[in-house]
Amino acid sequence: MSNHLDIDKLDRLAEVAVRTGVNLQQGQDLIIMANLSALPLVQRIAVHAYRAGAGLVLPFFTDDAITLARYENAGDHSFDRAPDWFYEGLGRAYKGGAARMAITGDDPMLLAEQDPARVARASKAVSIAAKPAMNPIVGFEVNWNIVAFPGAAWAARVFPDLPVEQAQSRLLDAIYDASRLGGDDPVQNWADHTAELKTRVKWLNDQNFEALQYTGPGTDLRLGLAEGHIWKGGASPALNGVTCQPNIPTEEVFTCPHAYKVDGTVAATKPLAYQGTVIRDIAVRFEAGKIVEATASTGEAVFRDLLAVDDGSSRIGEVALVPHSSPISQSGTLFYNTLFDENASCHIALGQCYADTIQGGSELAEDELKQKGGNQSLIHVDWMMGSDAVDIDGITRTGETVPVMRKGEWAF
């Protein structure tokens, strides 16, 4: 079914995902979450994982037809259910040392025709049930990685004017380039890229800003940073000691905003694809960290439902800086996929923070994290607000301003 895809490119993607991405250790089990459309990539990942010394490679697949069978045939009671036992088991596997890989590239519009209330209920049920499986990942307790497969439906969405097989090949090329797989030595590509990101991370951590000030069309935002926030980017060691590259591709440096100290307006600079709906021209106003006004030219109701999931879903848990000249941004492609679109632009994320972007955060209880400004939510949705028209300044503890970005590029 995917025989037209360049097997050498898929194989290189698989090898880099295993060796540089998750950095699988001798004897470590590898849990893979994937849509069945990504089977050709998962098969290559299995080969490289076993060559790297995997204990067991354990793939868990979703299937679009079976997902739709639920929406089209199930009783209403089904949509509040989730398999707790499975997520608790996954949590135990991670606590027991397993690494995790996720393959993105599903059909972003799969559920577009389904009742949005049911989609939201099903998603919420999974978010709640999946906490034991997500906490070790969000808390960076184990090495993990996410890579992309150019599934047919996704490719058709990104390149709607091409026949689907050509769209998939074209999307594989885009993934290959964005994932820095070209040349003689992709492992060295990633070492170089990480070194560059680490330079930015070090400078930002040395500055230890109190807040960031964003200024651009429709955007005038003072974004406070969490107490003890840590900038991160590129490869870093998980708490199990294994250095991994969680996202392939990645261009961002990011940290934890203060969930209660964000004030002003933001205009999104790209559409947000969320559960089958494309939300365009988002504009919001924050007061004391909470979004108190929100509009969008399409999908506004879905966006409002998202903000209403819980208290934390109308606050932010991540702030990320990406130069406008990043390769993904320069490709000019809208991917309708967070892994790519978030690496094309400065962004913030509604919802859950990453505990490891606050000093000692992984050892803190939820309310201790909150006191430092770390947001808590069932959701984490990245949301683009950078462009070549946005300036960002750092605000120091003594109230001075230091240029961070000018017209979307690093200013230091």
Q: Name every residue whose Cβ is closer than 8 Å to that of residue 113 and which is 6 or more positions away in sequence.
A: 276
Q: How far is the CB of 115 from a copy of itself (least distance, A)?
A: 15
Q: Which of 56, 117, 128, 292 binds a copy of itself (CB under 8 A)?
A: 56
Handedness of CA 130, 274, 149, 325 (dihedral sign): negative
Nearer Cβ to a copy of itself, position 46 or 358?
A: 46
Closest CA to 198 of 224, 164, 233: 233
Q: Can residue 51 be called a binding residue for a copy of itself (CB under 8 A)?
A: yes
29 binds, among Zn ion, a copy of itself, none (CB under 5 to 8 A by kind): a copy of itself
Residues 347, 316: contact at Cβ < 8 Å? no
311 DSSP 8-state letter: G
54 binds, among Zn ion, a copy of itself, none (CB under 5 to 8 A by kind): a copy of itself
Residues 143, 248: contact at Cβ < 8 Å? no
Nearer Cβ to a copy of itself, position 88 or 388?
A: 88
Q: Can residue 142 be called a binding residue for a copy of itself (CB under 8 A)?
A: no
Consecutive H or E run containing 196:
helix 186-207
Handedness of CA 7, 8, 9, 10 (dihedral sign): positive
Q: How far is the CB of 80 from Zn ion (least distance, A)?
A: 26
Q: Quick one: which segment of 44-52, 145-153, 173-181, 261-269 binds a copy of itself (CB under 8 A)?
A: 44-52
Q: Can residue 16 be called a binding residue for a copy of itself (CB under 8 A)?
A: no
Q: Can residue 43 be called a binding residue for a copy of itself (CB under 8 A)?
A: yes
Q: How far apart are CA 315 and CA 209, in angstroms?
A: 20
Percent of the chain that is helix, strand, coil (3-state, to 5): 40, 25, 35
Nearer Cβ to a copy of itself, position 164 or 283?
A: 164
For the chain, the first-to-last Cα distance in angstroms comes to 48
Binding to Zn ion in span 246-305, by CB under 5 A: 252
The encoded tokens of residue 237 equal: 């060691």
Q: Can residue 96 be called a binding residue for a copy of itself (CB under 8 A)?
A: yes
Binding site for a copy of itself (CB under 8 A): 1, 26-27, 29, 36, 39, 42-43, 46-47, 50-51, 53-61, 63, 65-66, 69-70, 72-75, 77-78, 81-83, 85-86, 88-90, 92-93, 96
